[in-house]
Amino acid sequence: MTGCPLSLAKLLGAGLECPAPIVHGVMRCGSFPRQWLRTETRSLRDIAALYNCEASLEKVEEFRTAEGLKSISSKCFEAANISAILIDDGITFDKMLDLESHKALSPLIGRVLRIERLAETIINDESFSGSSWTLDSFTESYVAKLKSVSTQIVALKSIAAYRSGLEINPNVSKTDAEDGLRKELTGPRPFRITNKNLIDYLFTCSLEIAVSANLPVQIHTGFGDKDLDLRKCNPLHLRAVLEDKRFSKCQIVLLHASYPFSKEASYLASVYSQVYLDFGLAIPKLSVHGMTSSLKELLELAPIKKVMFSTDGYAFPETYYLGAKKARDVVYNVLAAACEDGDLSIQEAIEAVDDIFRRNALHLYKLNVTNGSINNETTIAGGGVSSTSVEEDVLFVRIIWSDASGQNRCRVVPAGRFYEVTRNKGVGLTFAVMGMTSFCDGPADGTNLTGVGEIRLVPDMPTLLRLPWSSREEMVMADMQIRPGEAWEYCPRNALRKVTKVLLDEFNVTMKAGFENEFFLRRKLVSDGVEQWVPYDNTNYCSTSAFDGASSILQEVYSSLKTSDIVVEQLHAESGKGQFEIALKYILCTLAADKLIYARETIKSIARKHGLLATFLPKPDLNDIGSGSHVHLSLWEDDQNVFMGSSKDNFYGMSKTGAQFLAGVYHHLSSILAFTAPHPNSYDRIQPNTWSGAYLCWGKENREAPLRTACPPGVPLELVSNFEIKSFDACANPHLGLAAIVAAGIDGLRRGLKLPEPVESNPADYASKLQRLPQNLQESVESLSGDKVLHELIGDKLVKAAIAIRKAEIDHYAKNPGAFNDLIYRY
């Protein structure tokens, strides 16, 4: 993937991991088009890379023949990550899969009805002689047929551009249309409609039905096959239709980016509320420069909410893959440039990705990808979705936040109200929520947060997803705002966004994070009327029997995480009794924090479903091993890992940038612990000889060091690709923990800090020479209190509130040691 200074690819997820597009097309059974690949060397290279074969036409054909259509279709669609196929079946091939067969390739299949094809099917019906048709009888049959299928399709489509051009006369007279029909019927069968007056009449009748049935209408615009007169395909010719008040509510989709009339299409979408834009076919058909410039032109005036992508795949599964792949590359480049130019913020760019690839099409075509349904009753009004039938599908939406004590909390809103009101305006919440502790639902003294004052908890819609374990509920992360569009200074998600923006603005770098989730499974035991939660098993590290015993639960967890687009890289039994670990793929740190919260919610809920309790508490049993939330971190610029060193820039495998960033983390680590190990219980876990990082040091592949640089498989042995922080646990708010790390790294880069020499053996062997990290929460709080850098970058008020919460918890658990027992229910 090519890049620019704003590494937006990390915000989307690398490669093809951004939201799944909606595509159009129909699959053909047959041989591969040799001429197509011969003229598309770029496509040949991309397909050969997918098939892991030599980039030659012969080798690609050889692979296709050996694998068969079913196998290559699965490979292409899985790689493309397509969530819905909208099929225009108005184009025919010698051999075709029916609509039902496509369901093996995508969760949702919808039909797009081509109006010219429907009209030709009617007048070519052998039961009627051509001479018997009148305009009235033809119109009656056409309208009746169109109305009969209106609830079974997602859109209408016109190829008037191919036949007579886009200068449609919406007021064509019946006399002219009748004359046009007579002229068509004098030709040879099968009839192919080309008369402009008849096409204009058909087009107008179809728009009237589309309005009454609330169906969008796709219109071919711009370039196409050789039988098209490009001069007549400029979408500006549609002005008479767009100005007609009868069709002001008809949603019209201009296909193919209207290339080479992309600027004209953008203008129309900006001035006519009913016009939407789809840039399929332009991508991947054009050159890279052509694709990029065309999309940029579309976005110059058109609102992002009205621009969408479809692969325009057809006939061969490879066309779907190529469209999806190149679109993600091009959208990344264009939106990254928009961020660099100041047209978009990073968060706005992230939302634009979801809009362009998924959300705009879902709303326009009224699709529900989660359950594979098409909701023809849902209407679009004022940019939102009406609640006419939403609660038939989704009942509740959980609006989630994580407080300063690391507890996940939620407000639940009925889905109807959520989509009508809450998604845009949020819900009210007291200031006190960010001052609460793990032992009391009231603000701690010194937080300066009370029950006086209210914020808005505003859903961050790109994070919305269906609960895998509860099909009639959704959940969404929320931002805390003091007023519309203005972040509250105590909002953890905003704190992380704020420091990552500094990192990006000053050093052109973003940070990726991948978390390891360690947790204990416990089962209920009732003895003499007393309820206890005891270990799920008593096995050891990476035990096969432990995994086998919990396999059904872990399979459900994995499937649920996958459904939620949370990528699991490894999972295994850990050293503790009933302890397991699930490691997540590294992604942009702002997304990683959100997905960590979702992952824990998923694990806890599925365990509960099986009658078990999953706890992420650092040390639930003082006589057993502890649970961490180790995080692996790397720095990226222009799609390149800039934490990793090179032959010319190598400090123990790190680049200069990587070493200075890590030096900042090393320098501030004692303060960082107040965010990453924020509970008194955290320090029962951070002990020597437990792989938790008890001494201030770092080392390459040293699992006893709190900071470990890592050289995973595939990385040259003399280099490292990331570093791991051991002293991070699940009592931490992940956004605040990562914000503290980024803030420390920024200080390291600003001041050019240097690391000491690495420790290459057990740090406990050098206990007399190494500084011990804080042995209790009080020591880390004292360090944070005097850390001006973290106060400045994270926000003084938020840091002081966190310190007050920590002090309250130190005091409470010192006086009430038995209260630790209740924490398994909170973490």
- DSSP letters spanning 79-95: HHT--EEEEETTS--SS
Q: Are 687 and 696 spatial neighbours (Cβ–Cβ below 8 Å)?
A: no
**Token representation of residue 62:** 């050889």
Residue 251's closest CA among 100, 109, 360, 389? Answer: 360
Lowest mean pLDDT among 8-12, 607-611, 797-801: 8-12
Assign 173 to helix, strand or coil.
coil
Dihedral sign, Cα of residue 812, residue 818, residue 822, residue 826: positive
* CA atoms in the 13 A half-sphere facing the CB of 162: 16
The C-alpha atoms of residue 694 and residue 780 are separated, in whole angstroms, by 13
Per DSSP, the residues of 599-654 read HHHHHHHHHHHTTEEEE--S-S-TTS------EEEEEEETTEESSB--SSS-BTTB
pLDDT score for 368: 66
pLDDT score for 454: 92
The C-alpha atoms of residue 213 and residue 210 are separated, in whole angstroms, by 5
The mean pLDDT of 481-487, rounded to a whole number, is: 87
Residue 194 to residues 199, 200, 463, 757, Cα–Cα distance (Å): 7, 10, 48, 79
pLDDT score for 413: 95
Q: Are 468 and 555 spatial neighbours (Cβ–Cβ below 8 Å)?
A: no
The C-alpha atoms of residue 269 and residue 455 are separated, in whole angstroms, by 36
Lowest mean pLDDT among 166-170, 400-404, 524-528: 524-528
> Chain-centre distance of CA 551, in angstroms?
28
Q: Where are the alpha helices (DSSP H) in 642-695?
A: 656-676, 682-685
pLDDT score for 165: 93
Q: Are 810 and 598 spatial neighbours (Cβ–Cβ below 8 Å)?
A: no
Q: How confident is the model at residue 399 (pLDDT cuts 50, 70, 90)?
A: very high
pLDDT score for 608: 94
Q: Which parts of 200-357 are beta strand (E)?
A: 217-219, 252-254, 275-278, 280-281, 307-308
Bigger pLDDT: 388 vs 197: 197
* Arithmetic mean of pLDDT over the chain: 87
Q: How confident is the model at residue 677 (pLDDT cuts 50, 70, 90)?
A: very high
Q: How confident is the model at residue 4 (pLDDT cuts 50, 70, 90)?
A: very low
Assign 569 to helix, strand or coil.
strand
Burial level of 175, CB count in 10 A (0-12/13-18/19+)? exposed
The C-alpha atoms of residue 706 and residue 755 are separated, in whole angstroms, by 14
Q: Is 95 a residue whose pLDDT tops 80?
A: no
Give Cβ neighbours of residue 408 (< 8 Å, ≥ 6 apart): 400, 401, 402, 597, 600, 601
The C-alpha atoms of residue 193 and residue 116 are separated, in whole angstroms, by 7
pLDDT score for 98: 72
The mean pLDDT of 234-250, rounded to a whole number, is: 94
Q: Is 377 a residue whose pLDDT tops 70?
A: no
The C-alpha atoms of residue 293 and residue 334 are separated, in whole angstroms, by 9
pLDDT score for 470: 87
**Token representation of residue 80:** 């493309």
The mean pLDDT of 685-705, rounded to a whole number, is: 92
CB neighbourhood size of 460 (10 A): 17
Per DSSP, the residues of 407-457 read -EEEEEEEHHHIIIIIHHH-EEEEGGGGGB-SS-SSBPTTS---SS-EEEE
Q: Is 602 a residue whose pLDDT tops 50?
A: yes
pLDDT score for 571: 95
Residue 355's closest CA among 313, 322, 306, 399? Answer: 306
Residue 7's closest CA among 657, 504, 660, 341? Answer: 504
Bigger pLDDT: 350 vs 490: 490
Bigger pLDDT: 28 vs 362: 362
Q: Is 586 left (phi over 0), alpha (psi -120 to 50) or beta?
A: beta
Q: Are 674 and 781 spatial neighbours (Cβ–Cβ below 8 Å)?
A: yes
Q: Is 251 a residue whose pLDDT tops 70?
A: yes
pLDDT score for 391: 60
Q: How confident is the model at residue 57 (pLDDT cuts 50, 70, 90)?
A: confident
Highest average pLDDT, of 142-151, 560-569, 670-679, 756-765, comes from 670-679
Q: Is 663 a residue whose pLDDT tops 80?
A: yes
Q: Is 14 a residue whose pLDDT tops 50?
A: no
Specify the residue for token string 């056409």: 142
pLDDT score for 7: 35
pLDDT score for 131: 59
Q: Is 195 a residue whose pLDDT tops 80?
A: yes
Q: How confident is the model at residue 11 (pLDDT cuts 50, 70, 90)?
A: very low
pLDDT score for 606: 95
Residue 16 to residues 20, 65, 76, 424, 565, Cα–Cα distance (Å): 9, 26, 12, 29, 12
> What b-and-e string marks burial along 754-767, b requiring 16 or more CB atoms within 10 Å of the CB?
ebeebbeebbeeee
Q: Are 579 and 518 spatial neighbours (Cβ–Cβ below 8 Å)?
A: yes
Burial level of 97, CB count in 10 A (0-12/13-18/19+)? middle
Give Cβ neighbours of residue 132 (< 8 Å, ≥ 6 apart): none
User: Phi/psi at 280 (nearest 5 deg)?
Assistant: -65, 160
Q: Is 372 a residue whose pLDDT tops 70?
A: no
The mean pLDDT of 587-612, rounded to a whole number, is: 95
Residue 639 to residues 314, 563, 588, 591, 632, Cα–Cα distance (Å): 31, 26, 12, 17, 18
Lowest mean pLDDT among 174-188, 230-244, 596-610, 701-715: 174-188
pLDDT score for 69: 83
Q: Are 61 and 83 spatial neighbours (Cβ–Cβ below 8 Å)?
A: no
Instruction: Report the largest interatomic distance among the alpha carbons of the chain, rounded to a whole angstrom.
Output: 104
pLDDT score for 109: 84
pLDDT score for 110: 87
Q: Are 243 and 269 spatial neighbours (Cβ–Cβ below 8 Å)?
A: no
Q: Is 380 a residue whose pLDDT tops 50?
A: no
pLDDT score for 392: 63
The C-alpha atoms of residue 300 and residue 314 are separated, in whole angstroms, by 29
The C-alpha atoms of residue 735 and residue 743 are separated, in whole angstroms, by 12
**Helical packing angle, 69-80 and 57-67, nearest 10°:** 110
> Chain-centre distance of CA 374, in angstroms?
21
**Token representation of residue 548:** 């086998």
The mean pLDDT of 493-515, rounded to a whole number, is: 95
pLDDT score for 191: 83
Give Cβ neighbours of residue 75 (< 8 Å, ≥ 6 apart): 50, 51, 67, 317
Per DSSP, the residues of 132-167 read G--HHHHHHHHHHHHHHHTTS-SEEEE-HHHHT-S-
Q: How confident is the model at residue 312 (pLDDT cuts 50, 70, 90)?
A: confident
The C-alpha atoms of residue 124 and residue 191 are separated, in whole angstroms, by 6
pLDDT score for 3: 29
The mean pLDDT of 549-560, rounded to a whole number, is: 94
